Structure 1
Amino acid sequence: MKRTTIWILFLCCCCSLLVVKAQAQVTLTGTIMDKENKLVLPYASVTNKSTGRRAYSDKGGFYRISASPKDVIVFSFLGYKSDSIVVAQSSGTETRNISLVVEATQLRGVEIGTQYSPYQADSITRREQFGYILDKRDMPLAGGSTPVGAGIVFSPFTRYSRREKQKREFKKIFAKAEHEHYVDSRFTPAFVSKVTSLKGDSLQLFMRENYPDYNTLRTMPQEDLIYWITDKYKAWIKK
């Protein structure tokens, strides 16, 4: 009887150890920043590729996500090359600071007969990459249908929750980035230099001081853009 009892206890201990090992979790934390300028990147996407779990960094670039040993974590941000790491620790908290590199622009050639322009193709890719955030419906205001006089209960799913605020802020950042990508796809150094004959630092200075508005550029045909750049250049050289 004693041997049987000892054997049962031994099996129970082994099972407990296996369960603990299977449930071992790592809290991965750190800061996501621009590698060149060392500026933090707020609302960067953090995806556990092994489980599908997602999170994103806060305004200070700080992120936190749960993982298991050997999980692959992917970091993405608009206009930057994605990067990934493998969780090294077996438990506890693992700190990994991430530096992302700006993605090169204006390098892709235009193929004859292609369905999309380089800007359109890149825009579609960005939309697919961050669709899991952009497609989420904005939650209604807390207490929007609450009877007058009743107390308002703030649910973790209201627009005031941390996750909801991050999602809304990311949508704004995404829209702004898309506007900038569109302007940059038409107001290029090569095109402006061809119109103005400016080169080097003078070209960069002129483009920085005369960066066109997105809404204006959207309604402006290419021929009108040439006239617009010419007028801006004439006014600029008079200074």
Structure 2
Amino acid sequence: MPPRYTVYGITSLLLFSTGAAAQDLLRGKVKTGHGAVARRAIISHFQSEDTLYLDRRTENQKASDEVIMSVSVQNISQKKYNTSDMGGNYKIPAKRGDTIVFTSAGYKPDTAFVSDWMFDGQEGYTVYMDPNVVELPTVRVGDLSNYQLDSIKRKEEYAYLDQFHKVKLAGGKTFSDGVGLSFSPIDYFSHVQVQRRRLKKRLAQNEKDYYIDSRWSRAYVVRVTGLKGDSLQLFMYRYRPSYDFCRKASNEDILLYINSSLKKFLKKETPGH
């Protein structure tokens, strides 16, 4: 009869192997929280072999059972991406030290730093996302966005381009009146006028680009996607929205577009292939 310690050794090996495999996939549910009361995170730092780890413990106080579906779940460290299902369940490859970002329209983004305890238990790691309640300020006449203020300045700076429309002609008419005009076609189609019209056309396109930048800002895209460096530059260039879309889209539409584009971006082949 073989020694009992041999059986014990095999059992231990099997248990160890099973535990290691389970740690390769982080899973759990995404639920709605209740603001700052829903969760208090206690983060402690400790140093081990010149690597900084984050041990995150949560204290649930008034958690909600309302699940959130279609939440974007991104492993920033491994560049993996997934979404929660109809039941709010999610799963994503992860290991200790990875950074996981959860984003969803109408909720504040949540970031988790993977620790060993997150793989414990049958329910996995539950994420509580706080609703993004927007308090609308009192609207006053004259309150303008930075884009609007800059647009006014640009219009004032290049106002001279429109001055020829206001020049009085024979009979008190102007160019814009379209009747009673008394001007030379040669003068109108002169080199100066051609250059002026080209400049106006270019400025009009620039104005559209400025507006897109105000809705598709680098800071906001970084905040939602967690991308940086070359990946961020490529993402912003490849999925830059159109002017018409930005004009019609609400803030929620922009957020949904970013999440949808991020999913496509992470599934594409590496740049240059």
Do they fold alike, i.e. is TM over 0.5? no
TM-score normalized by the length of structure 1:
0.44
